Amino acid sequence: MRKRQNRIYNRVLHEIENEAQIHPRYADLQNQLALLCMFRGETKRAEDHFLEALRLNPKYRDAILNLGLLYIGTKRLKEAEEIFLSELRRHPKDSFLHHVLGILYIRTGRKAEAVARIHKAVQQHSYYRDYYRTRGVWRRGLVHLDRKTERSLKKIRLDQHYAQFHNFIGLYLAQRGKPAQAVKELRKAAELKPDEFTFHANLGTVYYYQGLYPKAILEFKKALEIDPLYGMGYANLSYVYGLLSRTQEALRFMKKAVQLNPKYADLHYNLALLYSDRKRYKQATLELKKALRINRSYLLARINLGVLYEDQKRWNEARREYRKILKITPDDEHIRKRLEKIS
């Protein structure tokens, strides 16, 4: 089993190396190469690739965090601290950053700072509350660090970057039409970092690829439990319910997706389709207009708007929209015929 896995990872490494040669400006490829090197224990090479990813895209958060974890793993704690503190300035409510710094401070004997960080991590996310409670660190609303708990926390492996490694291998396999293997990798990722909504969202997406819709729904819902503001999670749920022809649920989730992502024209478009299918023309028209306000050149929204006006016998408005469309795509026979019919 292990041998087979290594064969897969080596093959992926080889392919990503080739891709990185073809696309030397892709920071994500450098980050992926670094993760693969890390997994093989080639830390120097991994560091070089993370640094290259950050040179290409200095705001690449995954690469920043991975580099920090690499430094912790190789006991370059000062450099790691700088990275996580700098990230914390940008994301002060990120429970994971507080957790990592807490562990880092325990390892460097800075107990008071460790207590403060762990307290913050627990406050920010229920996952860390349970995490520290089961280890006897969080009791009655306070962080308790004694010799025993300190010793056990010192031994904790900060291997969330391995979670990211499995996540990326999972996505890679999914994109190459190997969903069953992809699911295995993504499950490993979710086990290593259960509070990461992306892993559940990705699992949901792979199940969606496979046509395993109930499983996809379950994973998208898990992702949304972790991050209820994950708007695309609601959109994905809506698409899955659409595939199941359960349009009432699809409508409910798409509304929520739009509410969370009001500037995403495509979501307004999809919501308009759901309304239009239910002959709720007024709401459909409104959504299409919103889509067009966000993206004036959204031709598809204009086509639907024209047809919607036609359905409501609002001939002038329908003609106006069709003429606008034909100015942009004069070869569109479908629209030309519709315009001729109502002219």
Binding other proteins by CB under 8 A: which of 22, 44, 147, 313?
22
Choose the stretch contacting other proteins; rule: CB under 8 A; options: 4-12, 74-82, 157-165, 293-301. Answer: 293-301
E strands, 131-182, are 138-139, 142-143
Phi and psi, residue 136, nearest 5° = 75, 15
Strand-pair partners of 139: 142
In degrees, to the nearest 5, what angle opens at C-alpha 282 toward C-alphas 281 and 285?
Answer: 80
Q: How many residues bind other proteins (CB under 8 A)?
A: 37
- Does 1 help bind other proteins (rule: CB under 8 A)? no
CA triple 166-175-198, angle to 5 deg: 45
Asked if 261 interacts with other proteins (CB under 8 A), we say: no
**Does 46 participate in binding other proteins (rule CB under 8 A)?**
no
Contact between 19 and other proteins by CB under 8 A: the answer reads: yes
Q: List, in order, residues 6 or more apart from 336 with CB less than 8 Å away.
A: 326
- Of the listed pieces 33-41, 74-82, 107-115, 173-181, which binds other proteins according to CB under 8 A? 173-181
State which of residues 7, 11, 14, 23 lies at the interface with other proteins (CB under 8 A): 23
Radius of gyration of the chain (CA): 25
- Indicate the residue among 43 and 57 with the shorter CB distance to other proteins: 57
Stretch binding other proteins (CB under 8 A), from 132-140, 153-161, 222-230, 272-280 = 272-280
- Among residues 9 and 239, whose Cβ is nearest to other proteins? 239
Report d(CA 239, CA 213) in Å as an integer: 10
Q: Report how far residue 120's alpha carbon sits from residue 94's, in angstroms, rounded to the nearest whole number.
A: 9
Q: Look up residue 15 and give its amino acid.
A: E
Q: Which residues bind other proteins (CB under 8 A)?
A: 18-19, 22-23, 25-28, 175-177, 205, 208-209, 239-240, 242-243, 245, 247, 250, 269-270, 273-274, 276-277, 298-301, 303-304, 307, 329, 332, 334
